[in-house]
Structure formats: structure tokens, C-alpha cells
């Protein structure tokens, strides 16, 4: 049954205020009232003259608005009959209401690995570097970027890696990328194009690297790690002709590849005509000795070097590098024709940050801070969990906490999360579960004053 227009106070029902042309505002107001169900299907709208008088506008405004809504299907006009609403919200299927996600407990303490101290990000100096390059960049710097990275940053990084990591780096063979994963994907594409079909990775290890390599079509083989690092003899029994290795600080075990294994790995690459892909993700943080130089310097013709500022500054910057063997540079460019380097201004800011000595100063301060924090964590763990054993303490931003064999580490992680403590089970980095019950405790992104309370919660979680 039609609904009479006399049931509505139209001046109140239709709000036509705001910017824009009056007939457009009236059409919008009527359209909204129809969609909301305030004007039901079949309801007659007032004659144009009557509505114009009530709203205090010209009749043309009303006829234009009505004509627009007729064209859109919201109104229907028939000769000799009133103009009526022709659309109903019930005709449109309702979207299913999304289920409310269960509220996650707030994380008070974060002992997960993988982050530096984000509180200590050098905001002021980074902002100064950004301002400096914005003011000094030439118009040619704002052109389409070189996929390999800006020449200024490539030169700066090559000098830094030669000076601080013992790398044999040249700007012509250095690519700026978005981080280690991006660099690995580029490398794997180039290797696949050169006929390499099998790649080995450390086990346990970071699943994201395994997945990245597999995404390029390479077959991935797991090679175990022991106290001396990657087991080269086991690697030699695989069909792999390339291997990804954390020589200076393996993740997550924290082991350092021994000198004997380093030499053996280089011999293996030469023997099979293959390559080592060195993940140098957090090697700047070594506390008990000087940082171990990269393997790449031992044989730059067989070793790719991957690095990033994600563990030294922040992953939010999305800046990393790839140093390739000279012979592989053409293949890298050909296999990644649409690879995009990070934003040029960010690249120039990092170059300025390094050239001014601010990066070295930040690393020195970070090493002091992390060494103090590591020592506090180890002391607190020894007091609160005397039956546990800790390993992987010499470098990096995490340690392994080895627990009694009957410990249910998965249940401990869940219990800790419910109490506001983030933990990570070592099994999360394994393809198969192991009898070695351990947690990976990161101390990069937790304050020193929070460590005693965090370890107390850890003890309670293990007890529960």
C-alpha cells in the first residue's frame, strides 16, 4: 500500500545543508532517506511545487533532484500519478556481519626475537639526514631510480662493508634492496636462470627464507646445524649447488661457523661450481670479541653477501644490500628486470647517515646497551631458572633457553601470552619437532627495567 507524503515533516526529514549545489544536496538527502528505510518503497513524495514551498527553494531545484533519482532508480514517475519510491533496502542482500575477533591480551613484555631496540631509533639524526638530502638532492636524483640502487648509497655501502665487515665490495657489484628476503629472492632468480635447481638452507632456520627460495622455483634442502655451524659434510650429500648460511651468527641457534667449516664451505662451492649466500643480518652485535669478518672476503667470486639495517636501525626503513660475485651481476640484472630499489630519498638519507659517522656511533651505543641488557638477562635467568641452560650468547639480539626434556614449551608459550609475555618456541623454526626443548628469547626490544618482571612471568608460565 502506498504511503502518503502527508505522514512526513519534509523540512525536518530532508536536511539539505552543506556545500554544493542545492539540487545535488536535495538529491543526496532523499537518496539517503530511501537507503535508510525512512522513505519506504511505494511512498509518494510531495509534488515538486509543494516541496519547494516547504523547503523555501525554487521548484526547479526539486524537479532536478527528482529527475536524478528517477534516472538512478530510486524514484518512479508515472503520468497522472504521484512520484513514488521505487527502491527498498530489503532488496539488497545484507553483508554478513563479521565475527568479532577475540581480543588478544595486551603484550606487556616482548621476549620474541627479531627486533632491535625501537625505543632507541635515532629519530633526530635520521630526520636531519632526510632534511639534508631533500635540500641538497639534484633534480636528476628525482628521476626514475636505478633498479640497482642510487650510486651514492652503493658507493657508501661498499666503503662501509670493506671497512667494518672485511668484505670485498665494489659499487658495481652492489645492489640496494628492501632487505635480506628481497635480496635472497633476487639471488635465487638469478641462480635459477643460470641452471641451478637446488638450494640448501640451515635447519633450524628462518621459515621466511625457506619460503622465499621455494617461491622462485628452487628445490629447498634442509641441512642441520651443530655447535660449529652448518654441517658441510651433510650439505655435500645433497644435490644443492647453493646454500644460505648465517656464518657470523646463525639464526636461531646463535652458533658461529667455525674456521674449519668456513674453509670447507668455500671448497664445497668451488668443487660443485656453486655459490654460498651469506646472511649477515646482525653480525655487528658481537660482545665478547671483535665482530667476525664476512665469508665473502674469502672468495668474492663464490659468495653472495646479504645485509640489512633492520636489526641495527629499524625494519620500518626497508633498506638492505646485496653484494654479488662480479660474474653474476649480468644474470642478476637480467633475472630481475622489474626489481624496484627502495625510495631514492631514503637511500640518500642512509648514505648521509653513514657518511656523517652517525651509523657507527649508533652501533657503538647499541653494542654497549645490548651487552648490558644481555648480561642482566643471563643473570636473571640463572637466578629464576637454575635448571635451564643458555646458549648462543656471544652475539646478536637473542639467546636460546634450553629446558628440561619434559617441558611442554608450546604450553608455556600459550600460558605466557595469556599473562602478557611474548615468547617463541624453538620448534617454530623447525620443520620437524625435536627432543631439544628450548625457547628463543630476544632481548632487543625490551627495556632493561622490564627484564626481571618478564623473567618472573616466564618462570610462572613454565611452572603452569
User: pLDDT digit string (tens) for 25-70?
Assistant: 888 888 888 888 888 888 888 888 888 888 888 888 888 888 888 8
Mean confidence (pLDDT) of the chain? 89
Read out DSSP for 276-327?
Answer: EEEE-SSTT-BSSSPPPPPGGGT-TTTEEEEEESTTTT-GGG--EEEE--GG
Asked if the model's pLDDT at residue 120 lies above 50, the reply is yes
Query: Which helix (H) or strand (E) segment is 191 a member of?
Result: helix 180-193
**What's the pLDDT at 140?**
85
**Does this model's pTM top 0.95?**
no
pLDDT in tens, 194-218: 999 999 999 999 999 999 999 999 9
**Has residue 104 got a pLDDT over 90?**
no
Block residue for cell numbers 642482566:
376
Q: Do residues 190 and 173 lie in contact, with contact meaning Cβ atoms separated by under 8 Å?
A: no
> Do the strands 303-308 and 109-110 form a parallel or antiparallel pair, or are they unpaired?
unpaired
- Confirm if 393 and 81 have CB atoms less than 8 A apart: no
Q: 324 CB contacts (<8 Å, ≥6 apart)?
A: 173, 174, 175, 187, 190, 304, 332
Q: Are 4 and 49 in contact (CB under 8 A)?
A: no
How far apart (Å, rounded) are the C-alpha atoms in residues 400 and 385?
13
Joined together, the cell numbers standing for residue 294 give 664476512
pLDDT of residue 436: 82
Block residue for cell numbers 643458555:
390
Counting residues of the chain whose pLDDT is more than 90, the rounded percentage is: 64
Return d(Cα 412, Cα 391) in angstroms, integer.
Answer: 19
Q: Render pLDDT for 295-305 as a digit per residue (tens, 0 to 9).
A: 999 999 999 99
Can you tell me the distance from the alpha carbon of 38 to that of 28, in angstroms, rounded to the nearest whole number?
14
Name residues whose C-beta falls within 8 Å of residue 24's C-beta, 6 or more positions apart in sequence.
Answer: 65
Other C-beta atoms closer than 10 Å to the C-beta of 442 total 22
Instruction: Report the topology of domain 109-114+361-463.
Output: 3.90.1150
Class of domain 5-91: mainly alpha
CB distance 429 to 207 below 8 Å: yes
What's the topology of domain 122-357? 3.40.640
Q: What is the distance between the alpha carbons of residues 250 and 398, in angstroms, rounded to a whole number?
A: 11
Residue 81's Cβ-count burial label (10 Å; 0-12, 13-18, 19+) is: exposed
Domain extents in the chain: 5-91, 109-114+361-463, 122-357
Amino acid at each position: 500500500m502506498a504511503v502518503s507524503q502527508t505522514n512526513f515533516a519534509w523540512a525536518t526529514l530532508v536536511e539539505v545543508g552543506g556545500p554544493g549545489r542545492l539540487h545535488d544536496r536535495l538529491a543526496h538527502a532523499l537518496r539517503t532517506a530511501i537507503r535508510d528505510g525512512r522513505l519506504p518503497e511505494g511512498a509518494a513524495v510531495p509534488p515538486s511545487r509543494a516541496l519547494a514551498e516547504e523547503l523555501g527553494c525554487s521548484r526547479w531545484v526539486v524537479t532536478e533532484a527528482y529527475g536524478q533519482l528517477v534516472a538512478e532508480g530510486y524514484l518512479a514517475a508515472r503520468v497522472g500519478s504521484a512520484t513514488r519510491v521505487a527502491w527498498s533496502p530489503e532488496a539488497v542482500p545484507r553483508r554478513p556481519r563479521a565475527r568479532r575477533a577475540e581480543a588478544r591480551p595486551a603484550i606487556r613484555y616482548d621476549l620474541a626475537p627479531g627486533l632491535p631496540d625501537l625505543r632507541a631509533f635515532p629519530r633526530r639524526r635520521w630526520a636531519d639526514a632526510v632534511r639534508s638530502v631533500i635540500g641538497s638532492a639534484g633534480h636528476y636524483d628525482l628521476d626514475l631510480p636505478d633498479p640497482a640502487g642510487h650510486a651514492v648509497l652503493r658507493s657508501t655501502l661498499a666503503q662501509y662493508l670493506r671497512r667494518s665487515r672485511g668484505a670485498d665490495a665494489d659499487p658495481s657489484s652492489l645492489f640496494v634492496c628492501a632487505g635480506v628476503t628481497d635480496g635472497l629472492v633476487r639471488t635465487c632468480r638469478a641462480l635459477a636462470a643460470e641452471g641451478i635447481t637446488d638450494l640448501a638452507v640451515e635447519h633450524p632456520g628462518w621459515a621466511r627464507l625457506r619460503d622465499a627460495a621455494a617461491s622462485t622455483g628452487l628445490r629447498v634442502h634442509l641441512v642441520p646445524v651443530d655447535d660449529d655451524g652448518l654441517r658441510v659434510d651433510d650439505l655435500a650429500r645433497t644435490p644443492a649447488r647453493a646454500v644460505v648460511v648465517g656464518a657470523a651468527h646463525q639464526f636461531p641457534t646463535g652458533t658461529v661457523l667455525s674456521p674449519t667449516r668456513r674453509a670447507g664451505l668455500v671448497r664445497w662451492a668451488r668443487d660443485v661450481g656453486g655459490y654460498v649466500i651469506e646472511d649477515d643480518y646482525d653480525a655487528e652485535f658481537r660482545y665478547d670479541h671483535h665482530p667476525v669478518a664476512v665469508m665473502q672476503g674469502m672468495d668474492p667470486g663464490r659468495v653472495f653477501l646479504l645485509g640489512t639495517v633492520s636489526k641495527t636501525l629499524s625494519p620500518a626503513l626497508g633498506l638492505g644490500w646485496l653484494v654479488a660475485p662480479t660474474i653474476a651481476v649480468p644474470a642478476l640484472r637480467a633475472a630481475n628486470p622489474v626489481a624496484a630499489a627502495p625510495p631514492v630519498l631514503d637511500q640518500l638519507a642512509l648514505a648521509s647517515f653513514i657518511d656523517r659517522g652517525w651509523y657507527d656511533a649508533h652501533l657503538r651505543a647499541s653494542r654497549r646497551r645490548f651487552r648490558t641488557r644481555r648480561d642482566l638477562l643471563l643473570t636473571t635467568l640463572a637466578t629464576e631458572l637454575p635448571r635451564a641452560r643458555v646458549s648462543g650468547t656471544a652475539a646478536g639480539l637473542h639467546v636460546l633457553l634450553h629446558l628440561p626434556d619434559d617441558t611442554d614449551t608450546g604450553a608455556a608459550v600459550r600460558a605466557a601470552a595469556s599473562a602478557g609475555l611474548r615468547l617463541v618456541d624453538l620448534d617454530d623454526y623447525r620443520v620437524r619437532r625435536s627432543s631439544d626443548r628450548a625457547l628463543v628469547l630476544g632481548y632487543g626490544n625490551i627495556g632493561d627495567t622490564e627484564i626481571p618482571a618478564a623473567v618472573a612471568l616466564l618462570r610462572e608460565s613454565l611452572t603452569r
